[in-house]
Structure 1
Amino acid sequence: MTPEVSRPLRTADVARESGYSVQQVRDLERLGVIPPAARAANGYRTYAPGHVHALRAYRRLASAAGPVDARRLLAAALTGGVADAAAAVGAVHVRLARERDEALRARAALGAIQREAIEDGRADAAPAGSPAPADPADALTITQLAAALGVRTSTLRFWEQEGLVAPERVTSLRARQYGPAAVDEARIVAALRASGYGVPAVRDVVATLRGLPGADEGIARAGQILDRRLDQIAARTVALLRAGTDLADLIASRPPSARPQSA
């Protein structure tokens, strides 16, 4: 439903059109998510269609990128132009694409662990962190692995401390190197952590992947988590696509005097 332009909107009207409650509309106005409402002669708040577009955009942006980024993206649309809003939304699309690629790599890594178990003729998964013979050229340094996963080297060290990853130390200076099996394991850990799972839960999954009792259950559990993460990323991507329409409507609803002029 498109709000009428011929009359000011009441708080209840904005709530109905945006899907928020009346109290939520007031709270989001107080937080600066939408511009301050005007005041009628009787002191009541009055809103314009732009407020509805802003709230719709915020709802979908928050689903796609989280409330903090949603406020930043909305600010770009409220104060900038089409190029600013498009660039901000594009950056979130890139981030979601990277998250999806990493989740797919983790899914492939899980499949490699499962295939290794089958090839070994064992019911349990082969130890993902064991020092199996591998070409040294295939090993990654801690800096290279951190860059591949999009995390800090300190994060990998913390994971090692918590028993989530098992790097190979091959130099007298104890420089960390990660062979293909350790990289597979690290990809799964990164995806599980990005899915919101705490260290104890991830440790339980990793322990079963390393060939301890219940390995088949661990592989199945990790697969389900990764599949859910892929579904969540897809839903966030759709929300971002819909938010793009809301942002375009928001920019179009702004009076010409409030739009940035071309140089």
Structure 2
Amino acid sequence: MSDASRHARSAPLRTVDVARASGYSVQQVRDLERLGVIPPAARSGNGYRAYGSVHVRALHAYRGLASAVGPVTARQVLGRLRTQTLAEAASAISALHVQLTHEREEALRAQQALRSLRAEAETPETEYDTDAMTITQLATALDVRPSTLRFWEEEGLVLPERVTSLRARRYGLPAIRAARIVAALRSTGHGIPAVREIVDSLHRFDGQEQTQRVLSERLDDIAARTVALLRAGADLAAVVTAPERPRS
């Protein structure tokens, strides 16, 4: 490589250069620097910002990460990645993949619960007792707080059985299935009134078809977000292996 080529590769980038390379506006570049998404730019002798290729890679990483986990989480993650050790940063990125996998598994369980509703009338009641869950067990399975299940109960979305002597909540198979569907619907952004309308319609064929469409769209969205995270992988790797990061 010639000296001229090395100089071209290492020459500082202006804000407008970074904006063109990343697809963001000049103001967005400045805003994302202020928010900690990209490292602070060096300042030249005349006070102008001087960026490098790491800033461009960080902005590309942010774009992909925002598509995968949302802009707020993306800003938080990228801000932390630059100050974490390599092991910590790699673990944080792995956790994002795990979260998407968990969301997909819950949507698939909700689909299975929906299919089970069609055969529910043929299921002997004794089977419900065998597979009952406590509120703590169900909350853990859905990755929600017990207070969330109590709120859904107040709203008439998930109705548990009760152990008469202790008044303790117990959730049989019908309630567990309903809870999985409610959790999946809530994760798609549906408000309580919309969830209630869908849940109330589940025992109609058209209601089940509507829920199936929602869950299928949920799975498609998770797949798209997973691909976005994969595409951001190389840029995230550049961020977490930048020379100035902590090593231990």
Q: Are the counterparts in 1 of residues 131 and 172 from structure 2 also a CA contact under 8 Å? A: yes
Counterpart secondary structure, 2:166? coil
Q: 2:130 aligns with which of 137, 140, 145?
A: 137
Segments of structure 2 that go 5 or more residues without pairing to the other structure are 1-7
Counterpart secondary structure, 2:246? coil
Distance 1:145 1:202 in 2: 19
TM-score normalised by L of structure 2: 0.89
Could you tell me which residue of structure 2 aligns to residue 232 of structure 1? 221
Alignment of 1:43-58 (within 5 A): 43-58=47-62
Could you tell me which residue of structure 2 aligns to residue 128 of structure 1? none
Query: Aligned residues, how many?
Result: 241
**Residue 187 of structure 1: how far off its partner (Å):** 0.3
Alignment of 1:25-64 (within 5 A): 25-64=29-68
Deviations 1:83-131 (A, max 9, x none): 22211111111111111111100011111113447x69xxxxxxxxxx9
**Residue 65 of structure 1: how far off its partner (Å):** 2.1
**Residue 135 of structure 1: how far off its partner (Å):** 4.4
**Residue 184 of structure 1: how far off its partner (Å):** 0.6
Counterpart secondary structure, 2:116? helix
Distance 2:182 2:61 in 1: 33
Q: Are the counterparts in 1 of residues 135 and 169 from structure 2 also a CA contact under 8 Å? A: yes
Counterpart secondary structure, 2:167? coil
Distance 2:195 2:239 in 1: 42
**Residue 81 of structure 1: how far off its partner (Å):** 4.0
Letter in 1 for 2:207: G
Distance 2:20 2:119 in 1: 53
2:196 is the alignment partner of 1:203: yes
Could you tell me which residue of structure 2 aligns to residue 155 of structure 1? 148
Q: Are the counterparts in 2 of residues 38 and 45 from structure 1 also a CA contact under 8 Å? A: yes
Moved more, 22-31 or 36-45: 36-45
Moved more, 63-72 or 52-61: 63-72
Q: Are the counterparts in 1 of residues 35 and 75 from structure 2 also a CA contact under 8 Å? A: no
Could you tell me which residue of structure 2 aligns to residue 88 of structure 1? 92
**Residue 75 of structure 1: how far off its partner (Å):** 3.1
Q: RMSD over aligned Cα, in angstroms? A: 2.1
TM-score normalised by L of structure 1: 0.84
2:245 is the alignment partner of 1:241: no
**Residue 133 of structure 1: how far off its partner (Å):** 4.6
Deviations 1:151-199 (A, max 9, x none): 1110000001011111112323321111111111110000000111000
Moved more, 108-117 or 222-231: 108-117
Could you tell me which residue of structure 1 aligns to residue 206 of structure 2? 217
2:7 is the alignment partner of 1:9: no
Runs of 4+ off more than 4 Å: none
Distance 2:163 2:175 in 1: 14
**Residue 260 of structure 1: how far off its partner (Å):** 3.0
Deviations 1:68-88 (A, max 9, x none): 432333234322343222111
Q: Are the counterparts in 2 of residues 106 and 187 from structure 1 also a CA contact under 8 Å? A: yes
Distance 2:216 2:247 in 1: 46
